[in-house]
Amino acid sequence: MNTANLQLEGLLLAISALCLTLKQKGILSDAEIGEALRAAETAAKLRGDTSELRNANIDAIHFPIRFLKRAVESGPEPLDFCRIASRVGSSKQNARLADPAE
């Protein structure tokens, strides 16, 4: 496996844990975390819309944001990169089935 992928995995788990801690301590609400991640996804969509990237590249840009959304939704259960990443992939696939134009 590419070392950069492992670094990304560790970084996403660390940021997920930080988001969950902020939520548990009442520093940020679910809504505030959700809004921050929606803002990031909007910025990512704008970048994808204005460039000549392939769908796979656009998906790669969106993956970390979608991962963090799923991780924060996971609640108190231990973070599991593979399980959360699978949920992201499943939701992306379900969205494409619902909207064939994507």
CA-nearest of 96, 97, 87, 95 to 66 is 87
For the record, the structure tokens of 71 come out as 């991780």
Residues of the domain holding 80: 3-98
Mean pLDDT score of the chain: 85
pTM above 0.95, yes or no: no
Number of domain units in the chain: 1
Please name the amino acid found at residue 90. S
First-to-last alpha carbon distance for the chain, in angstroms, is 29
CB 61 within 8 A of CB 8: no
Please name the amino acid found at residue 35. E
For the record, the structure tokens of 11 come out as 């970084």
**In the predicted structure, residue 39 carries a pLDDT above the cut 60:** yes
